[in-house]
Amino acid sequence: MTRRSVVVGHGAYLPEKILTNNDISKFIDTSDEWIAGRTGIRERHIAAEGELTSHLATKAAEQALARAGMTGADIDVIVLGTTTPDETFPAAATKVQMAIGADHAFAFDVQAACSGFVYALAMADNFIRLGQARNALVIGAETFSRLLDWNDRTTCVLFGDGAGAVVLRAEEGNGTSDDRGILSTHLHSDGRQHDLLYADGGPSLNQQAGVVRMQGQEVFRHAVTRLSGVLHEALEANGLAPEDVDWLVPHQANRRILESTAKKLGLPIEKMVVTVDKHANTSAASIPLALAQAVDDGRIKRGDLVLMEAMGAGFTWAAAAVRW
Ligand code: UT7
């Protein structure tokens, strides 16, 4: 028997305010045609004043708990992937813990930029496999709009705010790829690529949060090779082939990256969940937001093989193979 972390609930939250490409073109030199053509993005959600990452995370978490038929009291660990916590410390996860009344849970944030959700999922899965937790809440939440230089058209058009969450429950499986739950997770980092994507501030550097700085074309080039590489790794680890994949749920950075990743894997575009048009890049929130959408509209069903992948600053990149 093998202990598996089975997804038993999912949730999502997007702030009310929508900012379209046309809205942005009113205050900087850009256009819907350029943004949509180069990235597939048409609009993004922006958190209201006073609406913080932990608020978004809590709303997504509450929905996921309700769907799992659980309350905060059932949760043993909360892992929150975010690059935009409310405060430098404590972890935003502890605010979620308080808000949902997860009184006996331990809670912490994971900072792996856009790969944050897959990293968080891996942490929670390992706690469950080791028997240190039975029920885990995994969240990806960001107010990335607060980390942008709104005068820099090469970055500010790309990102948005939002949150998504899943509840994991320990179940016994047979140890095969037919088991429900997380089959494997694959995490990588390469600190040598720091200068290609970073925020130019931090508590130790200059006591500020900074704004995003990115060499877009270089990031694009790395993303395409590393993402298809880590997806092959996930398939091989489970003795699976691309034909076995029901859904690819990628981090949503750029539609052209998504399409070329699917193509490199030999996966039809129809098997890929795309939300980048409506959400833009919500960093660690993008995968759980896309998951929630595809489960809610009936695409992802119990028993489906779902592959997730992400790449972000660090560089970090990661994949997870999950039997839904
Ligand atoms: O989440 C993980 C991290 N992020 C990513 O994965 C993003 C990866 N990179 C990308 O998605 C793309 O590289 C971008 C969308 C960021 C940029 O697309 P690109 O096709 O690589 O464009 P570029 O940077 O080569 O810029 C082409 C032109 C430039 O003008 P010149 O020098 O050719 O005259 C830019 O100044 O487009 C210009 N440009 C814009 N024009 C209108 C850059 N941003 C804009 C803009 N509106 N917003």
Beta carbon of 258 within 6 Å of any ligand 1 atom? no
Q: Please state, in angstroms and rounded to a whole number, the distance separating the CA atoms of residues 308 and 318.
A: 8
Catalytic residue among 21, 135, 254, 281: 281
Residue 97's closest CA among 128, 73, 126, 115? Answer: 73
β partners of residue 17:
46
The token duo for 205 is 């550097």
Residue spans of the chain under pLDDT 70: none
Residue 310 CA, ligand 1 centroid: distance in Å: 19
Beta carbon of 281 within 6 Å of any ligand 1 atom? yes
What CA–CA distances, in Å, run from 11 to 25, 82, 283?
32, 16, 17
CATH number of 2-173: 3.40.47.10
**How many CB atoms are closer than 10 A to CB 176?**
11
**How many CB atoms are closer than 10 A to CB 303?**
10
Residue 252 CA, ligand 1 centroid: distance in Å: 16
Catalytic residue among 114, 186, 254, 279: 114
The token duo for 129 is 């496999």
CATH number of 181-323: 3.40.47.10
Per-residue model confidence (pLDDT) at position 284: 98
pTM score: 0.98
Reported as a single tens digit per residue, the pLDDT across 257-286 is 999 999 999 999 999 999 999 999 999 999
Residue 255 CA, ligand 1 centroid: distance in Å: 13
DSSP one-letter string for 38-99: HH---EEEEPPTT--HHHHHHHHHHHHHHHHT--GGG-SEEEEE-SS-SSSSS-HHHHHHHH
Q: Please give the mean pLDDT across all residues of the chain.
A: 98
Per-residue model confidence (pLDDT) at position 1: 86
> What does the domain layout of the chain look like in residue ranges?
2-173, 181-323
Beta carbon of 38 within 6 Å of any ligand 1 atom? yes
Spatial neighbors of 90 by CB under 8 A, at least 6 apart, are none
Per-residue model confidence (pLDDT) at position 224: 92
181: left (phi over 0), alpha (psi -120 to 50) or beta: left
Q: Is 251 considered catalytic here?
A: yes
Beta carbon of 164 within 6 Å of any ligand 1 atom? no
Q: Is 281 considered catalytic here?
A: yes
The token duo for 283 is 């960093």
Residue 178 CA, ligand 1 centroid: distance in Å: 42
Q: Please state, in angstroms and rounded to a whole number, the distance separating the CA atoms of residues 164 and 31.
A: 29
